[in-house]
Amino acid sequence: MEKILKFGGTSCGSIASIESVLAIIEANHQVKSSFAVVFSAMSGVTNALLEAGATAASKKTLEPTIIEALEARHFEVIRHFIPVTAQSQVIAQIRTLVNELRDVLKGINLIQEISPKTSDLLVSFGERLSTALITAILKQRGLPVRFLDARDVVKTNQQFGKAEVRFAESNALIQADFNAHANEIALITGFIGSNDAGDTTTLGRGGSDYTASIFGAALDVNEIEIWTDVDGMMTADPRKVAAAFTIPSISYAEAMELTHFGAKVIYPPSLQPAFAKNIPIRVLNTFNQTFEGTVVSKVSSPSPYIITGISSIDELALVNVQGSGMIGVAGVSAKLFTVLAKEKISVVLISQASSEHSICFAIDPQVASKVDKILAKEFAQEIASGDIEGIDIQRDLSVIAVVGEGMRKHTGVSGRLFSVLGKNGINIVATAQGSSELNISVVIEKKDLSKALNVIHETFFFSQIKTLNLYLVGAGLIGKTLLNQLVGQERYLEKYKGLRIQLVGIANSRKQLINPAGISIDQAIELLDSDGESASLADFVEQIKRLNLPNSIFADCTASKEIHQHYLGLFEANVSVVTPNKVANSGPYAQYAALHQTALSKGVKFMYETNVGAGLPVINTLQGLIASGDRFEKIEGILSGTLSFLFNQFVPGKSFAAVLREAKAKGYTEPDPREDLSGMDVARKILILSREIGLKLEFADITIEKIIPSACEAAPTVDAFFEELDKANSYFEAMVNEAYAEKKVLRYIAKLENQKISIGLRAVGADHPFYQMDGADNVIAFTTKRYHDRPLVIKGPGAGAEVTASGVFADIVSIGSYLS
């Protein structure tokens, strides 16, 4: 016999799926391979039978509806596949079986009780019906098939519900049976067998796979095909990890591990007879027949990945037994696990610290209270004496298992695993690694499960490409420019930086839109307009936290004075923040410190290079100097692109207001240019620099020399402000003329020296380093211990949409590099 095929419930579940099953069997027959086929019950039938049994045992009269529906489902298949002239015979055959089933239910109803033995008989009708049905159809189509009731050849003990197979006897019966019918295709009822007394028994979980495996082993087949409704075993549960893909080849041991931790495609323990004979199992998809699926065999073929798959148990409780009295006392764990075994409590994972001070183990949360009581009783004496401090149970946890034979050959797998979890703020509650080095398990909080599975999957299977999930708030000048720049760089980032920036949320002051599957960047503004809901920043932030996406970045491209109130919460929720908005860093010092400390402790990034000098590398350079131990003596600079432009362009005879309008049109000014002209913007920048070098200065410590007349200062609106500026033109002309008379130019300079900040307008001559300026240039001179005789000078355009957006962009990329 070449192979055994097995079709699960979903494959036998509908007319369309049975169509596929027939096609697969006919195709095998055409190539004349010798094979046999095992069937499960039609999907849902086993449960329907159990429900019918329970109802019959508990109600006074029988409710025929379930059985009628079941009969109708089978008849429908007959009417579809069998020509009218031949239908009556098959219908009669199925009706005979259903009548037998009705008699069983009558019996249950009569005695108002359903024993395990009766239950096994009852559910056996599921496989007997589906197999009989398909046999009739194939026979009708002219295939040499025969119905084989597995109860005739699979012999078991008396343990109803999960009977043990008597292999020697069963193997002999199977071989004899197949020898006697060499030229026929046996269609076999899965899941069932019989005991010595001839009673029907069932084989427990994965029962039809077991049947296939028993026949495969008995007949020494070359391969067993398990036909199901998914594309084989996958690298992770595709419902949780969209990027999961089929594992082409996996070892028995790996399959065992993955299944233990929740991967439900096959149930390897039921495939044991095949494993013992080194028979490969091929998992295939009835609904995608040409797909290669997964081969499960003794040794898996070499794979390009270090790990083979990831699986999880979503609901778990962790029990921690702890106490100094446990150290060096032999037998505490023996006692612990003996009592758990006695109570049939299954332990998913165990971890013991080498100090022997505590043992922790994971269990199904449904039995947590029971375990609590059992242990309290068992260890009452130790608890009373203080040897055991207590039994602590933590709920709402999940466990993730990272599985693969390749881990034995590679070092650093757990390092990578823990590091990626850490960078995403996922707390590891407990961990265990089997000495086989086939599996590393981590227990985490359930709320982090999806995020953890996705980042782990990304790390081990797509380590070349890391996806950053970007939320952009503020779609004005800078925000829109950033979006444009992102569109142009997608391919470069993937190829050279291994990064994919996925926009998952966007908001302005009117609307907001979130889509965790990604928002097309080049259409983001239109989509925000058409699909966005009305904006509520608090709600937007709440959604970000709830989604808990891996590698999340919040870009604040607004000038809002409120948004920073959300930064702290975002850091705590493990979201990095990137911003050109200076408000957060220039508020009260305590707030500045709290933000920076929180970001640091949560392992997320707070990036704000564009707070000073737009895209010029000011903050980065300063941080590098500080980190390498340099000491700052003085910082001096022209920190306003707008004011730089004004004093470069304004000459007596021109309109000062018109030059400012030009600066605004060029994107140099703040959304409200009063912020620039009042000196406020410069004050924020120099305050931020002072804090970066470690000074605890407040806004009130800054001396700002005003450059605009008080009437302009007091203007209530931007328009009124421009009008006042127009009126004050001669004031500015006089200032400039005065400087010109001395062959000087005006420069608005910020200075930090001796822990004091001063900002004011200076007339500087040609010998001054700030004399030569152009456009919206900024210049910053750092005088430090190392740059003492000649300062380190950074100079260039310090305002404008393109240079600012590219600074924000670079910050995002640097977060990506950190996370990789």
Ligand X SMILES: NC(=O)C1=CN([C@@H]2O[C@H](COP(=O)(O)OP(=O)(O)OC[C@H]3O[C@@H](n4cnc5c(N)ncnc54)[C@H](O)[C@@H]3O)[C@@H](O)[C@H]2O)C=CC1
Residues annotated catalytic, as ranges: 685
- Judged by CB under 5 A, which stretch of 271-279, 305-313, 603-611, 648-656 contacts Na ion? 603-611
Q: Does 670 bind ligand X (CB under 6 A)?
A: yes
Q: Which of 53, 126, 474, 550 binds ligand X (CB under 6 A)?
A: 474
Q: Which of 58, 99, 112, 509 binds ligand X (CB under 6 A)?
A: 509
Q: How far is the CB of 800 from ligand X (least distance, A)?
A: 5
- Return the amino acid letter for 228: T
675-709: b (≥16 Cβ within 10 Å) or e: bbbbbbbbbbbbbbbbbbbebebeeeebebeebbe
Q: Does 382 bind ligand LTNE7NMQ (CB under 6 A)?
A: no
Q: Does 609 bind Na ion (CB under 5 A)?
A: yes
| C-beta of 266 vs 799, nearer to ligand X | 799
| Alpha helices (H) in 7-150, listed in sequence order | 15-30, 45-58, 65-81, 84-111, 116-140
Q: Does 478 bind ligand X (CB under 6 A)?
A: yes
Compute the distance between CA of residue 222 and CA of residue 244 in angstroms, rounded to an integer: 29
Q: Which of 125, 461, 668, 782 binds ligand LTNE7NMQ (CB under 6 A)?
A: 668
Please choose, from the candidates 680, 679, 673, 665, the residue with its C-alpha nearest in 3D space to the C-alpha of residue 477.
665
Interacting residues with ligand LTNE7NMQ between 671 and 700 (CB under 6 A): 676, 681
Q: Which of 296, 403, 444, 559 binds ligand X (CB under 6 A)?
A: 559
Pairing mode, strands 223-228 and 200-202 = unpaired
Q: How far is the CB of 527 from Na ion (least distance, A)?
A: 30
| C-beta of 210 vs 748, nearer to ligand LTNE7NMQ | 748
Q: Which of 309, 641, 807, 816 binds ligand LTNE7NMQ (CB under 6 A)?
A: 641
- Return the amino acid letter for 698: E
- H or E segment and range at residue 746: strand 745-753
Q: Does 610 bind ligand X (CB under 6 A)?
A: yes
| C-beta of 552 vs 669, nearer to ligand LTNE7NMQ | 669
Measured over the CA atoms of residue 441, residue 442, residue 447 and residue 452, the dihedral's sign is negative
Interacting residues with ligand LTNE7NMQ between 541 and 600 (CB under 6 A): none
Q: Does 680 bind ligand X (CB under 6 A)?
A: no
93 CB burial (10 A radius; 0-12, 13-18, 19+): middle
Compute the distance between CA of residue 319 and CA of residue 444 in angstroms, rounded to an integer: 14
Q: Which of 12, 224, 306, 614 binds ligand LTNE7NMQ (CB under 6 A)?
A: 614
Please choose, from the candidates 704, 637, 642, the residue with its C-alpha nearest in 3D space to the C-alpha of residue 670.
642
| C-beta of 232 vs 474, nearer to ligand LTNE7NMQ | 474
Q: Which of 640, 678, 690, 783 binds ligand LTNE7NMQ (CB under 6 A)?
A: 640
Q: Which of 798, 806, 807, 812 binds ligand LTNE7NMQ (CB under 6 A)?
A: 798
Compute the distance between CA of residue 471 and CA of residue 17 in angstroms, rounded to an integer: 43
Residue 509 interface partner, choices ligand LTNE7NMQ, ligand X, Na ion, none, CB cut-off 5-8 Å depending on type: ligand X
Applying CB under 6 A, what is the total number of residues that bind ligand LTNE7NMQ? Answer: 11
Q: Does 677 bind ligand X (CB under 6 A)?
A: no
Q: Does 609 bind ligand LTNE7NMQ (CB under 6 A)?
A: no
Q: How far is the CB of 610 from Na ion (least distance, A)?
A: 5
Interacting residues with ligand X between 517 and 546 (CB under 6 A): 535, 537
Q: In sequence order, what E strands does 229-379 have?
A: 249-251, 281-285, 294-297, 309-322, 347-352, 358-363
Measured over the CA atoms of residue 575, residue 577, residue 583 and residue 585, the dihedral's sign is positive
Q: Does 332 bind Na ion (CB under 5 A)?
A: no
Q: How many CB atoms neighbour CB 624 within 10 A?
A: 11
Q: Does 670 bind ligand LTNE7NMQ (CB under 6 A)?
A: yes
Q: How far is the CB of 468 from ligand X (least distance, A)?
A: 20
Q: Does 569 bind ligand X (CB under 6 A)?
A: no
Pairing mode, strands 145-148 and 192-194 = unpaired
CB contact at 8 A, 762 and 637? no
Q: How many CB atoms neighbour CB 65 within 10 A?
A: 10
Q: Does 130 bind ligand LTNE7NMQ (CB under 6 A)?
A: no
Please choose, from the candidates 541, 517, 589, the residue with its C-alpha nearest in 3D space to the C-alpha of residue 243.
517
Residue 473 interface partner, choices ligand LTNE7NMQ, Na ion, ligand X, none, CB cut-off 5-8 Å depending on type: ligand X
Please choose, from the candidates 618, 571, 613, the residue with its C-alpha nearest in 3D space to the C-alpha of residue 591.
571
Q: Does 777 bind Na ion (CB under 5 A)?
A: no
Pairing mode, strands 390-403 and 792-797 = unpaired
Residue 508 interface partner, choices Na ion, ligand X, ligand LTNE7NMQ, none, CB cut-off 5-8 Å depending on type: ligand X
Q: How far is the CB of 706 from Na ion (least distance, A)?
A: 26
To the nearest 10°, the Cα dihedral for 321, 327, 329, 331?
40
Compute the distance between CA of residue 56 and CA of residue 288 in angstroms, rounded to an integer: 40
Please choose, from the candidates 185, 188, 211, 229, the residue with its C-alpha nearest in 3D space to the C-alpha of residue 17.
229
| C-beta of 257 vs 676, nearer to ligand X | 676
Residue 640 interface partner, choices ligand LTNE7NMQ, Na ion, ligand X, none, CB cut-off 5-8 Å depending on type: ligand LTNE7NMQ
What are the angstrom distances between the C-alpha of 576 and each of 418, 469, 560, 590, 608?
Answer: 19, 10, 18, 20, 11
Q: Which of 119, 130, 551, 581 binds ligand X (CB under 6 A)?
A: 581
| C-beta of 24 vs 614, nearer to ligand LTNE7NMQ | 614
| Binding positions for Na ion, rule: CB under 5 A | 609, 613, 616, 618
Binding site for ligand X (CB under 6 A): 473-479, 507-509, 535, 537, 557-560, 562-563, 580-582, 610, 614, 641, 667-668, 670-671, 799-800, 804
Which residues make up the interface to ligand LTNE7NMQ (CB under 6 A)? 614, 640-642, 668-670, 676, 681, 798-799
